[in-house]
Amino acid sequence: MQEYEYTAIPAPTRAEKNRALKTPGERFGATIAGVLNRMATEGWEYLRADVLPSEERSGLTSRTTVFHNLLIFRRALVQEPHDTVFLPEVPVPLDAPAAPPESVPTFLTSAKPALSSRLSSHAEPGSAPRLGPATTED
């Protein structure tokens, strides 16, 4: 699955001066195109423009909500190839007996038999220990 990283930059609020362009709309469009082209040369793909709220201080004790125009960009993360090979699991029939372990670690064989059976993943099913109420030490 492809993964991306994202960045957000503030959208320009005023057009750059350009004597070749006559109208304010043309100048602002050229400014936006310049930002998009600059980010594209760095590998960022334009995704969308968002208007997001931000709570900022207004005076000593009050706060106001200000809306910011942001340009959102993304670029693909380079993924390193994995050497892991995933093999499909073979389903085991429910009525088949469990296979004994091929080798038992030495720390289990040297322990007491009761402890060994409690630590084994192949222990006989039984009732769980009874849990009492939680107590705190004062």
The answer to whether residues 32 and 12 touch, using CB atoms and an 8 Å cutoff, is yes
| In the block, residue with structure tokens 């006559």 | 22
pLDDT of 120 reads 57
86-123 pLDDT per residue, tens: 667 766 666 666 666 666 565 555 555 555 555 555 55
Q: Which two tokens stand for residue 43?
A: 């590998």
What does the DSSP 8-state code read for residue 92? P
pLDDT over 80 at 81, yes or no = no
pLDDT of 114 reads 56
Global pTM value: 0.54
Please, what is the average pLDDT of the chain? Answer: 80
pLDDT of 93 reads 66
The answer to whether residues 51 and 69 touch, using CB atoms and an 8 Å cutoff, is yes
Q: Report the alpha-carbon angle 87-104-94, nearest 5.
A: 50
Burial (CB count <10 Å: 0-12, 13-18, 19+), residue 36: middle
pLDDT over 90 at 35, yes or no = yes
Q: Which two tokens stand for residue 107?
A: 């720390």
Detail the DSSP E strand segments found in the chain.
4-10, 45-58, 62-76
pLDDT of 129 reads 62
Pick from 28, 26, 23, 25: nearest CA to 12: 28
45-55 pLDDT per residue, tens: 999 999 999 99
